[in-house]
Amino acid sequence: MKDNIPPIFAGKHDWLILLALLAVSLLAWAGHHHGRSDSFNGACRVRILTEPPQELVFNQAQPRPVEVKGRTGLAVIEWGSDKRIRISSSACPCKTCVNMGWTDSSSLICVPNGIIVEPLVNTGQKVDAVTR
């Protein structure tokens, strides 16, 4: 009876092939999830709602402030020593964006100047949107 059950691994190297397949899959999965770590490194996307719209992506905190030109003039984006981001100045009348201060999660928005600074966590956004 036992002899009638076909062996799962007929060839002596088959199990190696199967193990390799599984290992590659698991490594890819683990690598992907490791890449979704929530640690913030100062990466952000800057959307500038000019015509045409522009988009800048900074993959990490920048050592020096960056100037971007919005609809009403220049805005300065600055990274702190803790890698948080702020809009330190903007050519807008109300300065709401400047008063929003430092962030590592919420978007900073300057409506008059048409500038949105979105903190990014590694390659993906941590949240889909922020209610404020």
Partner 1 sequence: MAGNRVKVILTVAAIAAVIMLLKSPQQEAPLFESRLMMDTIISIRAYPVISKKQLDAAFAEFAKVESKASFHLENSELSALNRNGSLGAASSLTPLLQIAADYFARTDGYFDPSFASLQKAYGFYSGEGRLPGEDEIAGLLRDRCGLGQVLLQNEEGFKLASGSLIDLGGIAGGYAIEKAARVLRESGCSGFLIDDAGDIWFEGSKPDSSNWRIAVRDPRDNGTLALVESRAPLAISTSGDYERFITVDGKRYGHIMNPHSGRPVDYYSSVTIIASEPVTADALSTAVFAMPPEIAFKWVEERNLAVLFLTSTGTIHLSRAGRQYFRQAEAQ
Binding site for partner 1 (CB under 8 A): 6-11, 14, 17-18, 21-22, 24-26, 28-29, 32, 36, 38-40, 47, 49, 53, 71, 93-94, 96, 99-106, 108-109, 111, 114, 116, 124, 126-132
Q: Given the complex with partner 1, which of 63 and 124 has the nearer CB atom?
A: 124
Place of tokens 């913030």: 40
CA nearest to 95, candidates 112, 107, 79 = 112
Q: Given the complex with partner 1, which of 21 and 74 has the nearer CB atom?
A: 21
What letter would DSSP give residue 29?
Answer: H
Q: Closest separation between CB of residue 61 and partner 1, Å?
A: 14
Q: Closest separation between CB of residue 87 and partner 1, Å?
A: 11
Structure tokens at 69: 């030109």
Q: Given the complex with partner 1, which of 91 and 100 has the nearer CB atom?
A: 100
* 95 phi-psi bin (left φ>0, alpha ψ -120 to 50, beta other): left
d(CA 111, CA 115): 7
